[in-house]
Amino acid sequence: MDHDDLNRLQWRCTRRALLELDLILGKFLAEEFPALDEDDKRVFAELADMEDHDLWPLVNGTEACDDARQGRIVAMLRKSGVRQPL
Amino acid sequence: MSIPVRKYDAVIVGAGGAGLRAAIQLSEAGLKTAVLSKVFPTRSHTVAAQGGVSASLGNSEEDHWHWHMYDTVKGSDWLGDQDAIEFMCRKAPEVVVELEHFGMPFDRTDEGKIYQRPFGGHMSNFGEKPVRRACAAADRTGHAMLHALYQRNVRAQTQFFVEWMALDLIRDEEGQVLGVIALEMETGEVVAFHAKATIFATGGAGRIFYSSTNAFINTGDGLGMAARAGIPLEDMEFWQFHPTGVAGAGVLITEGVRGEGGILRNDKGERFMERYAPNAKDLASRDVVSRAMVTEINEGRGCGPNKDFVTLDITHLPPETIMKRLPGIREISIQFAGIDPIKAPIPVVPTCHYQMGGIPTNYKGQVVLEDGATVAGFYAAGECACASVHGANRLGTNSLLDLLVFGKSSGDTVIEDLASMPKAHKELPAGFADRTLARLGRLESQKDGADVHETRLAMQRTMQNHCGVFRFKDKLEEGVRKILDIEKQAAQTQIKDKSKVWNTARVEALEFDNLIEVAKATMICAEARKESRGAHVRDDAPDTPEFPNGRDDKEWLKHSLWYRDGNKLSYKPVTLKPLSVETIALKTRSY
Ligand SMILES: Cc1cc2nc3c(=O)[nH]c(=O)nc-3n(C[C@H](O)[C@H](O)[C@H](O)COP(=O)(O)OP(=O)(O)OC[C@H]3O[C@@H](n4cnc5c(N)ncnc54)[C@H](O)[C@@H]3O)c2cc1C
């Protein structure tokens, strides 16, 4: 991903409707995203494009994720804890 | 330097509940309307609202708009304008039923009517007993509402400009507003939207505080733009705090947790609410609980290494109850506090939740100046506006109602006002973009400046420590000095990324320009108001027989107005006369 794609993604991760997702996606993008391979990066970007009320239940585990590709990234998001406003 | 100009009949900044509701009026009336938003409309913060929207439909039991009006005036601690409050409460049933017709999937009763549930502060028969007035769509009221409004706009062919950030108002020498200057993030291009009418619906500014339940988008852009254009901000000292935000992250833990038996404890494990509210205990009203928590922390009984939070304990509840009755709470605690609430108590602090003040308007949505004159071409609605229906304290579910009523009325007023205006657009003044371009230019060329993130953090901590739930004279005075110091750094922020396209560092710096205006207004208004009223509670204005709850109507029954120029403060009277009924007479606010 180039500068523009990455910054667009950053905006879409940290200007969400729900604070919960601002915190989790923002931290993931800064800390774990850089080490992903290109396919996983694309999957993450797909997740970030979802509506907040569809994505949040997957990330907090109240709903199961039935897409195997997304499931791996969702599992990483579930584990990533956030203690401070970024 | 000149910038491209696009012409519209009306431009709306903001695509949350208020902006989308206004846009429906305009587009359906055939006006050429542009709606600008920093994010895709259904990413607006209105989506976060769960509790519901109030209207005296009387579907579950007898109810009346006049009772709703009484509750709202009382909730506002008599600082709300009674003409606007009557207008809102009378219109509520109409706008809620209209929303139903737009496709809002409200919860229903067995007979198919909109189901209604009780909500704090909403009572029947002028404060007698709780009434079921809140209409909801499961726990996704805001989400469902925004989708219904968005679909209706698509049908009406509203033109959306998504991921565009409005930067400044265009105001000519006569004071008339002629549109906005905006930045397209994808191209970095700066464009003028030349309009006969401009409606601000930019939402709140909850991110001025360190601990906030608000999403990151709430940076008070509308307020910053209005202040820079010489328009005062009203009642900015009044912010509602929610007692239980997760310490640190700020994520909201719903009142339902205490409803199910959650207990607040200090460092000794003591259930301290027994001392502050022997009857209601942990279920006392939001402001009472929040102040008790802060008192515990201030007196050294906070928890953790810095003794800066208390805990919300549900370890005594059966795990099945937690999983079944409080879905998501366990996950929130694990993700944002790092604890499993089945085994350990949740760290919580009172957290900034809602902004009562804003851009001064009347109930028609027109922006009004101190002398009551309207600003030609300028309107505002929703959380960024101060009509003022929430006064010193908002009732839950009245905010979504505010969006619908004043979104609609501002749209109607624009249609009316445009009918009597010349057909052609008034000419843009010479150099209309100069100040905005200078601001952008300064940011480009700044050397040895301040880091945006660090300066914002300094502001947020100062607001939190000096101007929180419970306010102290010395702390406020020091807070004013500190925030004015931080303002100097804010004027010298520096960014490393100088690229044109998708420069999020630039956008964040521009958002910070707005936050700092709101922070100054808040601190300065709070220091100046020497009474306690609603959400503004000062240690040196305690509850006495002469001043019950610390409220001083003789001196302070008035709206604050803060001007950016010289940080000047001024005051204007509260409108006590409703539109058609008798004034709701001053009384001590107690529940
Ligand atoms: C967690 C939470 C729960 C809540 N629950 C309830 C509830 O149950 N009931 C209730 O009545 N209230 C509730 N509230 C309050 C209520 O949700 C908000 O007050 C309300 O949604 C604000 O709506 P709005 O239309 O004014 O602004 P928002 O929905 O915040 O929309 C603002 C819009 O302005 C745009 N914008 C901002 N700045 C710019 C700019 N510079 N350029 C372009 N576009 C811009 C944004 O992109 C966005 O589209 C809750 C609030 C929170 C935080």
* Ligand 1-lining residues (CB < 6 angstroms): B 13-19, 36-39, 44-46, 48-53, 141-142, 164-166, 201-204, 213-214, 217, 221, 252, 353-354, 382-384, 396-400, 403
Residue B82 has, within 13 A of its CA and on its CB side, a CA count of 22
Instruction: Name the helix (H) or strand (E) containing B530.
Output: none
Centre of ligand 1 to C-alpha B215, Å, is 9
Give the span between the Cα atoms of B532 and B535, in whole angstroms. Answer: 8
Q: What ipTM does the predicted assembly reach?
A: 0.96
User: What's the pLDDT score for residue B259?
Assistant: 81
Cβ–Cβ contacts within 10 Å for residue B315, how many?
16
User: What's the pLDDT score for residue B86?
Assistant: 98
Give the span between the Cα atoms of B10 and B407, in whole angstroms. Answer: 14
Q: Chain A: nearest CA to B37, how far in angstroms?
A: 11
Overall pTM > 0.95:
yes
Per DSSP, the three-state class of B280 is coil
For the stretch B489-538, pLDDT in tens is: 999 999 999 999 999 999 999 999 999 999 999 999 999 999 999 999 99
User: What's the pLDDT score for residue B283?
Assistant: 84
Q: Is residue B65 within 8 Å of B92, Cβ to Cβ? A: yes
Q: What's the mean per-residue pLDDT of chain B? A: 96
pLDDT band at B255; cut points 50, 70, 90? confident
Token output for B30: 């055939």
Q: Is the torsion defined by CA of B530, B523, B77, B387 positive or negative?
A: positive
pLDDT band at B254; cut points 50, 70, 90? confident
Give the span between the Cα atoms of B125 and B447, in whole angstroms. Answer: 63
Q: Examine the pLDDT at B591 and tell me if it is beyond 80.
A: no
CB contact under 8 A, A20 and B335: yes
Mean pLDDT of B420-449: 96
From residue B430, give the alpha-carbon distance in Å to each of B5, B167, B171, B199. 13, 18, 11, 23
- Catalytically active residues of B are 286
Q: Are strands B177-184 and B164-171 parallel, antiparallel or unpaired?
A: antiparallel
Instruction: For residue B48, give the DSSP letter.
Output: G
Instruction: Find all residues with CB under 8 Å of B416, minimum gap 6, and list them.
Output: none
Tell me yes or no: is domain A3-81 CATH 1.10.10.60. no
Mean pLDDT of B7-26: 98
Domain boundaries, chain A: 3-81
Q: Where are the alpha helices (DSSP H) in B182-302?
A: 221-228, 256-259, 273-276, 286-298
For the stretch B59-96, pLDDT in tens is: 989 999 999 999 999 999 999 999 999 999 999 999 99
Cβ–Cβ contacts within 10 Å for residue A66, how many?
8
User: What's the pLDDT score for residue A86?
Assistant: 64
Centre of ligand 1 to C-alpha B352, Å, is 14
pLDDT band at B244; cut points 50, 70, 90? very high
Instruction: Name the helix (H) or strand (E) containing B203.
Output: none
CA A11, distance to chain mean position in Å, is: 12
CB contact under 8 A, A84 and B327: no
Residues of chain A with pLDDT under 70: 86
Give exposure, B143-171, as e/b (b: 16+ Cβ within 10 Å). bbbbbbbbebbeebebebbbbbbbbbbbb
Cβ–Cβ contacts within 10 Å for residue B418, how many?
18
> Mind giving me the DSSP string for A11-80?
HHHHS-SSHHHHHHHHHHHHHTGGGS-HHHHHHHHHHHTS-HHHHHHHHTTSS----HHHHHHHHHHHH-
Q: Is residue B38 within 8 Å of B469, Cβ to Cβ? A: no
User: What's the pLDDT score for residue B288?
Assistant: 84
**Considering CB atoms only, which of A20, A26, A84 is closest to B248?**
A84
Of B239, B386, B399, the residue with max ligand 1 atoms within 8 A of its CB, to mutate for a pocket test, comes to B399
Instruction: For residue B579, give the DSSP letter.
Output: S
Chain A residue with CA closest to B187: the answer is: A4
For the stretch B290-348, pLDDT in tens is: 989 999 999 999 999 999 999 999 999 999 988 888 878 898 999 999 999 999 999 99
Would you say how long chain A is, in residues? 86
Q: Of all protein residues, whose CA lies closest to atom 31 belonging to ligand 1? A: B16
From residue B370, give the alpha-carbon distance in Å to each of B5, B81, B520. 32, 14, 19
- The structure tokens 């198919």 sit at B112
Q: Examine the pLDDT at B187 and tell me if it is beyond 90.
A: yes
Closest CA relative to residue B532, chosen from B524, B523, B541: B541
Give the span between the Cα atoms of A70 and A46, in whole angstroms. Answer: 9
Q: Chain B: nearest CA to A2, how far in angstroms?
A: 11
Of B119, B240, B383, the residue with max ligand 1 atoms within 8 A of its CB, to mutate for a pocket test, comes to B383
pLDDT band at B285; cut points 50, 70, 90? confident
B338: left (phi over 0), alpha (psi -120 to 50) or beta: left
- Give percent of chain B above pLDDT 90: 91
What ranges make up the beta strands (E) of B266-356? 310-313, 346-355
Side by side, which strands form the sheet with B53-54? Answer: B53-54, B129-135, B116-124
Q: What angle do CA B429, B433, B436 make, to 5 degrees?
A: 140
User: What's the pLDDT score for residue A81?
Assistant: 80
Give the span between the Cα atoms of B299 and B185, in whole angstroms. Answer: 48
For the stretch B449-478, pLDDT in tens is: 999 999 999 999 999 999 999 999 999 999
Phi and psi (nearest 5°) for B90?
-70, -35
- The structure tokens 């300064």 sit at B442
CA A83, distance to chain mean position in Å, is: 17
